[in-house]
Amino acid sequence: MKLDKFGRMALLSDFYGELLTSRQQEVFRYYYEEDLSLGEIAENLDITRQAVHDNLKRAESALENYEHKLGLLAGYLKKKVSQDSQEGR
């Protein structure tokens, strides 16, 4: 099963989002769930656009690192593909 970046980040957030800092969670939610631009997020949080970018990249990197170490998403996708093939999807 191939996921686009938004789909992958959404699932990684479901598995590991609580491990991010509160600021990273907030920026991540605005960007991926509410589809706000970096400028809009910066304005909402009263921080610079660069700070939004940095927080977003750190959050994405942290989520990927958790997945690399723990593999919860890979296990979930493997199970889902197996179930889908058994159901004839």
pLDDT at residue 89 tops 60? no
Residues 6, 14 contacting (CB under 8 angstroms): no
Cα–Cα distance measured from residue 46 to residue 40, given in angstroms and rounded to the nearest whole number = 10
Q: Which CATH number goes with the domain that contains 20? A: 1.10.10.10
Distance CA 49, CA 51 (A): 5
Q: Which domain holds residue 63?
A: 5-82
Report residue 54 as tokens. Answer: 């940095």
Contact 45, 27 (CB under 8 A): yes
Domain assignment present for residue 35? The answer is yes
Higher-pLDDT residue of 57, 82? 57
84, burial (CB in 10 Å: exposed 0-12, middle 13-18, buried 19+): exposed
Tell whether pTM > 0.85.
Answer: yes
Number of domains in the chain: 1
